[in-house]
Chain A
Amino acid sequence: EPEVTQTPSHQVTQMGQEVILRCVPISNHLYFYWYRQILGQKVEFLVSFYNNEISEKSEIFDDQFSVERPDGSNFTLKIRSTKLEDSAMYFCASSGMRTFTEAFFGQGTRLTVV
């Protein structure tokens, strides 16, 4: 069965450092998403990406965040200068269709900022 792969599974970083979270979506999917879940809280939408550009983003997705698809297979989320409150589980998802009908999620990357 096809799957979305995220690496690393757990990342610990010092406050102020840059981190890159990596995702390999399902190969024929066209729509890509990042979500985050702070421990004990709801899942929150961060950004959607299609045709090499951001299609929607939430108010959480400020200038410290960026996404790109550098090589046609990976989909990355960069956090430029991490803060303690960025500690969360970050999920990548991909979909073959716009309406999220067949969305597949990765297992998540747990980011801990110390």
Chain B
Amino acid sequence: KNEVEQSPQNLTAQEGEFITINCSYSVGISALHWLQQHPGGGIVSLFMLSSGKKKHGRLIATINIQEKHSSLHITASHPRDSAVYICAVAEGSSGDKLTFGTGTRLAVRP
């Protein structure tokens, strides 16, 4: 069973700061996902990674398959980035079954 750990669990930042959220997992995977959960509970898919790096706007996600580690970076953070960020890993050929981390609660202060 894959153990997915995220750090930090809670993070408070000032607007404009560069933010890094980390995710590590214990067993080899076919893909890793970063998700954003808003205060109301809704979930948005941000990235799916199987190698390397992806960028979307102010968000950057990287993965190191050998080290079983991924990072989500937010540049020029904004209060609207406040949410819970969740890492989830997919195993097996189908990639359907995801194992989720506990999430990182981010609060960005104006």
Category for how many chain A residues contact B: 20 to 34
Instruction: Chain A residues near B52: list those with CB within 8 A.
Output: none
User: With an 8 A cutoff between CB atoms, is A51 at the interface?
Assistant: no
User: With an 8 A cutoff between CB atoms, is B48 at the interface?
Assistant: yes
User: With an 8 A cutoff between CB atoms, is B67 at the interface?
Assistant: no
Interface 1/0 per residue, B41-63 and A, CB below 8 Å? 11111001000000000000000
Number of chain B residues whose Cβ lies closer than 8 Å to a Cβ of chain A: 25
Q: Which residue of chain A has the shortest Cβ distance to B98 in the bound complex?
A: A45
Question: Taking A42-B102, A43-B100 as contacts, is the C-beta distance between A103 and B95 under 8 angstroms?
Answer: no
Instruction: Chain B residues near A103: list those with CB within 8 A.
Output: 33, 45
Check if A55 sits within 8 Å of B45, measured CB to CB: no
Chain A-chain B contacts (Cβ-Cβ < 8 Å), number? 66
Q: Which residue of chain B has the shortest Cβ distance to A105 in the bound complex?
A: B43
Instruction: Chain A residues near B96: list those with CB within 8 A.
Output: 31, 33, 45, 48, 55-56, 98, 100
Per the 8 Å Cβ criterion, residues 57-72 of A in contact with B are 58
- Give CA–CA (A27, B1) in the complex, Å: 34
With beta carbons under 8 angstroms apart, the residue of B40, B102, B103 that contacts A107 is B40
Q: Which residues of A contact B (CB under 8 A)?
A: 31, 33, 35, 37, 41-45, 48, 55-56, 58, 89, 91, 93, 98-108, 110
